[in-house]
Amino acid sequence: MGDVLFTSAIDGLLIGVIYGLAAMGLTLIFGVMDVINLAHGPLIALGMFGVYLLFTFLGLNPFLAVAIVAVIGLLLGVVIYFIAVNRVIDAPPLSSLLSTFSVNMIIIGIGTAMLSTSSYNVDYSMGTMDLGFFRAPGARIAASLVALLTTALLYIFLYRTRPGKYIRAVANNRISAELMGIPSTRILALAFGVGVMLATVAGGLIATILPINILAGGSYELKSFVIVVLGGLGNPLGALLGGLILGLIEGIVPVFMKTTWVPVIEYVLFVLILLVRPQGILGAKE
């Protein structure tokens, strides 16, 4: 029992890091511009298929493919910002919810027409890593490490570089940031791009370890909501913690009850936290 519990917990934490990375994209965008990006799931799915296509047709190493997908994700995010978000940035929340949801419909529509909804697989193995007390597929461990590395890079970007500091300034107070001469529209576009990049990277990493389909992003989007609320809306580090918690729940709960109870627990927790502590565990942005 102890062994099973331990292994399940580690399994959960490994996937939890990736959940956390996906959620970071959502929470960064919310934190900076108060927009809940409802195209998050399809963007995760695009990341999945980006890696799948680069791997299958160009024979690229999946982790190299993730890096390329990241760049594409960044650019795509900037484009989406200018098309769908910029005009409604100061409108009531319904507007940005619907405009990002329309992006969701467009991506899913094109994706379904081209790829159908059937399942695809990145056929890639890195063997099994055996640490004596714990065994896991090598790709799974590698994916988690890449997710951690991306998180670290995000922090360096946000805290050590000028554009990153600008993003934090705009998140803190857009009007005073503008008064200080920060070009807020460009910074918002950049922040949206980074948020989308994180979603696509998370999707790409998921593709290296699990089967994918165009609709698969949806469930990760919902998980991201749960995580983001757990960790505090707008708080990227909170998202990592939330991801780990969600991963642990998914790892451990099935040891005690049917797997189908996992989402019930997740979503009830989600609503309860919204009600009782909407600022999340670590606290939301001011």
Binding region for another protein (CB under 8 A): 30, 34, 36, 83-84, 87-88, 91-95, 97-99, 101-106, 108-110, 112-113, 222, 225-226, 229, 233, 258, 260-261, 263-264, 266-268, 270-271, 274-275, 278
Q: How far is the CB of 171 from another protein (least distance, A)?
A: 15
CB 198 within 8 A of CB 20: no
Determine the Cα–Cα distance for residues 202 and 17; give it in Å rounded to an integer: 9
- Give the nearest distance from C-beta 32 to another protein in angstroms: 14
Nearer to another protein, 72 or 262 (CB): 262
Quote the CA–CA distance of 123 and 120 in Å, as a whole number.
Answer: 9
Nearer to another protein, 146 or 233 (CB): 233
Closest to another protein by CB, 65 vs 229, is: 229
> Helix (H, G, I), strand (E, B), or coil: what is residue 130?
strand
Question: What are the structure tokens assigned to 131, written together?
Answer: 């640490």
| 128 vs 219 by CB, closer to another protein | 219
Residue from 239, 204, 254, 263 nearest 70 by CA: 204
Please say which residue, 112 or 121, places its beta carbon nearer to another protein.
112
Q: Report which secondary-structure segment, H or E, holds 137.
A: strand 135-137
Report the Cα–Cα distance between both ends of the chain, in Å, rounded.
43
Residue 181 and residue 74: Cα distance in Å, rounded? Answer: 24
Closest distance between another protein and the C-beta of residue 148, in Å? Answer: 27
Nearest distance from residue 70's CB to another protein, in Å? 25
User: In whole angstroms, how close is the CB of 228 to another protein at the nearest point?
Assistant: 9
Q: How far is the CB of 87 from another protein (least distance, A)?
A: 5
Any idea which residue has 């399940």 for tokens? 8
The residue (of 108 and 205) whose beta carbon lies closer to another protein is: 108
Which lies closer to another protein via its Cβ, residue 71 or residue 264? 264
Q: What is the DSSP string of 205-260?
A: HHHHHS-B-TTTHHHHHHHHHHHHHHH-TT-HHHHHHHHHHHHHHHHHHHHHS-TT
DSSP result, 167-219: HHHHHH-HHHHHHTT--HHHHHHHHHHHHHHHHHHHHHHHHHHS-B-TTTHHH
Minimal distance in Å, beta carbon 99 to another protein?
5
Phi, psi of 136 (to 5 degrees): -150, 155
